Amino acid sequence: QKEVEQNSGPLSVPEGAIASLNCTYSDRGSQSFFWYRQYSGKSPELIMFIYSNGDKEDGRFTAQLNKASQYVSLLIRDSQPSDSATYLCAVRYGGGSEKLVFGKGTKLTVNP
Amino acid sequence: GAVVSQHPSWVICKSGTSVKIECRSLDFQATTMFWYRQFPKQSLMLMATSNEGSKATYEQGVEKDKFLINHASLTLSTLTVTSAHPEDSSFYICSARDTSGGRQWQFFGPGTRLTVL
């Protein structure tokens, strides 16, 4: 069974700090990795995606992928109160499948 | 670009009635759409994969006769919850994959909150 694990949190950081969100996955055949942000009562919105080992930066967000360790992370620099949300890690396992498997999400609170 | 809409955004119905939820890709064609369900404080659970012009593929444990999916065009998929009961109350979210330009990610609709009394 393909699984995606996240620390449910809550993770609380002060404004301006770096928030670090982690995710592990079970299947080595995984090909694509996504971070979605979900505000309460809303649907998820794509923040970052990463396919290759290493780091990928987009503004204040950096996704890190280590396929050998089956680990993907999201760093949020200069955290803002508006970043307070639940962050969902999603994995596309490949093999021709377009399905995503989601983790349970980590709730992040950025305190002013 | 890559906007997905859902209608209605919320619905309240009596137990035993059927509810239809529409999912539309507004500015792209989607041969595949996905239907998810999310209970409070839980993650998204994939219910089924909707394929244009063919039968939907349901995940294990999802009743195909209860959750009817129709993907009649490249921009529209519908989910009908038949004979809804209070335990079907949930947040239903659709997504579509925009493959233009080689993109591989799914765009989500705004969701439909279903409350069954």
C-alpha count within 13 angstroms, C-beta hemisphere, residue A55: 8
User: pLDDT tens digit string along B5-62?
Assistant: 999 999 999 999 999 999 999 988 888 899 999 998 888 999 999 888 888 999 999 9
User: Do A43 and B108 count as a contact with CB atoms less than 8 A apart?
Assistant: yes
Give chain A's radius of gyration (CA, Å): 13
- Smallest CA–CA distance, residue B108 to chain A, in Å, is 6
User: Do B106 and A100 count as a contact with CB atoms less than 8 A apart?
Assistant: yes
**Segments of chain A with pLDDT less than 50:** none
Measure CB to CB from residue B93 to each of A43, A92, A105 and give the nearest one: A43
* pLDDT at position B101 over 70: no
What is the total residue count of chain B? 117
Burial of A110 (0-12, 13-18, 19+ CB in 10 A): buried
User: Do A43 and B106 count as a contact with CB atoms less than 8 A apart?
Assistant: no
* pLDDT at position B105 over 80: no
pLDDT score for B31: 83
